[in-house]
Amino acid sequence: MSLLSQHQTGQDGPAGDIAWSVLDAANDLGDTVTIDACRRVIDANLRGAEPATSDMAVVVAFFG
Comparing 7 with 44, the larger pLDDT belongs to 44
* Alpha-carbon dihedral 41, 45, 49, 51, rounded to 10 degrees: 20
- Residue 64: per-residue pLDDT: 82
What is the tens place of the pLDDT at every residue in 28-61?
Answer: 999 999 999 999 999 999 999 999 999 999 999 9
Look at residue 26 and give its three-state secondary structure: helix
Q: Which residues contact 6 (CB under 8 A, 6 or more apart)?
A: 14, 15
What is the tens place of the pLDDT at every residue in 9-36?
Answer: 444 578 888 999 999 999 999 999 999 9
- Residue 12: per-residue pLDDT: 54
* Alpha-carbon dihedral 13, 62, 2, 46, rounded to 10 degrees: 20
pTM: 0.78
